Amino acid sequence: MTTAFAQTETPIVKLVGVDKDYHLGSVIVPALRDVSLSIAAGEFTVIAGPSGSGKTTLLNLIGCVDVATRGDVVIDGADTRQLKEKALTDLRLRSLGFIFQSFNLVGVLDAFDNVEFPLLLQGKLNKVERRDRVMGLLQQVGIEQYAHHRPGELSGGQRQRVAIARALVTQPRIVLADEPTANLDSKTGTAILELMQELNRRGTTFLFSTHDPRVVSRAGRVIRLVDGQIADLNASAEDVAALAAGAH
């Protein structure tokens, strides 16, 4: 439970006074209110909060798949509000890694192809370099023997390992994970968390959204959200424990 890096360097993620409204017909539903935060390289941060508190919305803004209604979202030095759709997509490809709750692998491609896919989109590496990078990652996540299995032939944990490898393969500045353990049993979930912690120790910055106390208990830093507002930017161990207890 240590934060390996100091928080004084230029943050990878910086939000200032961010609001996000959703429009349900003519009704405006505020999802986030005046959120400001920053995340530095090397953190292992969890956004915690009950359902409907705005965790996923916050993660989507940071993940550049949604835009803020008001306020600034700066990712890897880029003000996302200034960017067009195409540039945002480029930013995602260059700087971000995604791990989805339900893995979202390409069903017809095997593990290797799925992991290789972002590299193909980037088009920077040649075939040999790609293979080395992909196999190295599959090894790191412990499923190199399943490289040529398709998602349908893998268990949930194995699929999430493939998804993690895919998120890491471009060596992004930060990996975003939306409830990465939600669809896994507790044992597998724990193993996945341990894997991510291990990867964090090797230098990858992680940002989770979760209400799973197991995830929260392993976080280096917990940002608590309540009703779309930040309740605590760095919750204490007690808070975390209370939160964990509350969740149970």
Partner 1 sequence: MILIRIALRNLRSHWFKGLIVGGLLSLGSALLVVGLSLLGTIDKSMSKSVVGSVSGNLQVYAKDAKDKLSLFAGMTEGTEFGHIDDFPKVRKTLEAVAGVRAVVPMGTDVAMVYGGNVLDVKLEELRAAEKAKDAAKSKIVRAHVRRMVGLLATDLDRISELRTADNQSDETKKAIADVKRAGSDGFWKEFDADPFAALEFLENKVAPLGLNADMIWFRYIGTDLDRFRAHFELFEVVDGTVVPKGQRGFLFNKLTYEETVKHRTARRFDKMRDRLAEGFSIEGDEDLKQWKKLNKDQIREITYQLDDRTEPLVHTFLLNHLKQTKGTTDALLAQFMEVTDDNFASRYKAFYDGIAPHLMLYSIKVGDVMTIKGFTSSGYPTSVNVKVYGTFRFKSLDKSMMAGGMNLMDLMTYRDLYGYLTADRKEELARLQANTGVKPPERDKAEAELFADAGDEVEEIKPSGEAIAAPSAATDLAGAATQTGGFDEFAKVDMKASAKTYGEDLFSRVYAQGDIDGGVVRNAAVLFQPGVDDRAVQAAVAKAAEGAKLGVQVMDWREASGMVGQFLFVIYAVLAGSLFIIFFTAMVIINNSTVLATMERTREIGALRAIGAQRSYVRKMFLVEAAVSAVLFGALGSALGALVVAWLNGHGIAAFNDVFVFLFAGPRLHPTLSPAYVVIALVVVTVVTVLSTLYPAWLATRVTPLQAMQDAE
Per CB under 8 A, residues contacting partner 1 are 56, 59-60, 63, 65-66, 85-86, 89-90, 92-94, 96, 98, 100-102, 104-109, 113, 116-118, 120-122, 166, 170, 178, 182-183
Q: How far is the CB of 194 from partner 1 (least distance, A)?
A: 24
Report in angstroms how near the CB of residue 99 gets to partner 1 at its nearest: 10
Q: Which amino acid is at 102?
A: S
Cβ distance 222 to 216 under 8 Å? yes
Q: Which is nearer to partner 1, 4 or 65 (CB)?
A: 65
In the complex with partner 1, the residue whose CB is nearer, 25 or 107, is 107
In the complex, the smallest distance separating the C-beta of residue 3 from partner 1, rounded to whole angstroms, is 27
Shortest Cβ 45–partner 1 spacing (Å): 18
Neighbours of 92 (CB within 10 A): 19
Identity of the residue, 85 or 238, whose beta carbon is nearer to partner 1 in the bound complex: 85
Kind of pairing, strands 229-232 and 221-226?
Answer: antiparallel
Cβ proximity to partner 1, 63 vs 220, nearer residue = 63
Q: Output 40 or 184, the one with its CB closest to partner 1.
A: 184
- The residue with tokens 């009704």 is 27
Give the nearest distance from C-beta 185 to partner 1 in angstroms: 16
Contact 202, 168 (CB under 8 A): no
96 has which bridge partners? 174
By three-state DSSP, how is residue 39 classified? strand
Residue number, 110 or 240, with CB nearest to partner 1: 110
Cβ of residue 184: shortest distance to partner 1, in angstroms?
Answer: 13
- H helices of the chain, where? 55-62, 85-95, 111-122, 127-140, 156-168, 186-201, 213-218, 237-247
Scan for tokens 């268990």, then name that residue: 155
Q: How far apart are CA 181 and CA 187, in angstroms?
A: 10
Vertex 150 angle, CA 128 and 109, to 5°: 55
Q: Residue 14 or residue 130: which is nearer to partner 1 going by CB?
A: 130
Distance CA 9, CA 21 (A): 31
Residue 93 Cβ, how far from partner 1 at the closest point, in Å? 2
